[in-house]
């Protein structure tokens, strides 16, 4: 969520990876979109991140991005642009002064909420 705070008013984006369904790494990726209401991952950073995930024997669990001024649900543009079947969409959104995080699966042209549990293993 920190990445989302620092990139305002632009959307933050990145990958969430780990083993099975447990996240072990969050990889911020530069948003190169010229539109503050959209994200487009830097292709070189995206490829490097995917190679690192694979080389560590992890799998891509989710793609996160922020909605600094929008709802914590996938937009029609998010749904239309989604290219990762089976990967979760994690959205960090600002609700008044609080940030909220929601998790979704995109299926065809729709989305459904998924349960997510955040634990501190430190």
In tens, the pLDDT along 12-29 reads 999 999 998 889 999 999
Residue 51 domain-assigned?
yes
Residue 119 domain-assigned?
no
Residue 17 domain-assigned?
yes
Residue 120 domain-assigned?
no
Domain count, the chain: 1
Residue 37 domain-assigned?
yes
Which among 78, 81, 80, 109 is positioned nearest to 91, based on CA atoms? 78
Is 11 designated active site? Answer: yes
Residue 122 domain-assigned?
no
The range of the structural domain enclosing residue 73 comes to 2-114
Does 59 or 121 have the greater pLDDT score?
59
Residue 121 domain-assigned?
no
The pLDDT confidence band at residue 48, using thresholds 50, 70 and 90, is very high
Residue 11 domain-assigned?
yes
Q: Which of 11, 20, 97, 114 is catalytic?
A: 11
Q: Which tokens belong to 13? A: 């984006």
């Amino acid at each position: 969520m920190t990445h989302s705070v620092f990139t305002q008013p632009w959307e933050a984006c990145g990958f969430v990876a780990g083993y099975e369904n447990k996240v072990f790494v969050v990889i911020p990726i530069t948003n190169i979109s010229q539109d503050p209401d959209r994200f487009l991952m830097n292709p070189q950073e995206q490829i490097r991140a995917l190679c690192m995930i694979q080389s560590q024997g992890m799998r891509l669990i989710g793609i996160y991005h922020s909605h600094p001024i929008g709802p914590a649900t996938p937009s029609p543009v998010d749904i239309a642009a989604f290219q990762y079947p089976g990967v979760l969409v994690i959205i960090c959104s600002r609700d008044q002064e609080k940030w909220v995080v929601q998790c979704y699966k995109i299926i065809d042209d729709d989305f459904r909420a998924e349960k997510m549990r955040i634990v501190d293993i430190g």
